[in-house]
């Protein structure tokens, strides 16, 4: 027979147990508590961030900063599009990968990994013979060199 749960029935109590260690840093609990942060602000009228940086955030042009961030995002996206076995070779670190790729001594390895294509050899020159009439030769001879 199906069991119906109502507001007037017996309540089941469930406990949550997390015996393994967590990555939460308990010593930072107070610094994350909004009540503590606001109480501290009301007392000093400044936030820790303002006190630490004194309103100085570097002399960066916003456009240069945005360009730098775009380059970082583009490099990260490029690295993420590389096959996983190659990313693993560089410990999944885009910085390590970029250092390898930008080293000219690694060019042959890039070809082997399929990350670069060999430049095409130059097309051979085809000899062409042209027969000029005497009249054409005279015109060439009489044409000023600066023309």
Q: What are the residue ranges spanned by the domains of the chain?
A: 29-59, 64-118
Q: How far apart are CA 137 and CA 131, in angstroms?
A: 10
Note the helical H segments in the chain.
29-32, 34-44, 48-53, 62-80, 84-89, 94-101, 107-113, 134-142
Residue 30 neighbours by CB under 8 Å, 6+ apart? 36
Residue 58 pLDDT: 67
* SS3 assignment, position 97: helix
pLDDT digits (tens, 9 = 90+) for 50-94: 666 666 666 677 778 888 899 999 989 989 999 999 999 999 999
């Amino acid at each position: 027979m199906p069991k119906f749960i109502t507001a007037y029935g017996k309540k089941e109590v469930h406990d949550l147990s997390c015996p393994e260690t967590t990555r939460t840093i308990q010593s930072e609990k107070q610094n994350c508590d909004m009540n503590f942060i606001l109480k501290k602000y009301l007392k000093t009228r400044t936030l820790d961030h303002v006190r630490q940086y004194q309103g100085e955030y570097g002399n960066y042009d916003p456009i240069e900063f945005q360009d730098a961030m775009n380059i970082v995002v583009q490099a990260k996206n490029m690295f993420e599009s590389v096959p996983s076995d190659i990313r693993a070779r560089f410990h999944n670190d885009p910085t390590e990968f970029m250092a390898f790729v930008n080293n000219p001594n690694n060019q042959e390895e890039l070809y082997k990994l399929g990350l670069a294509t060999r430049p095409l050899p130059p097309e051979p020159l085809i000899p062409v013979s042209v027969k000029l009439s005497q009249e054409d030769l005279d015109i060439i001879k009489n044409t000023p060199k600066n023309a």
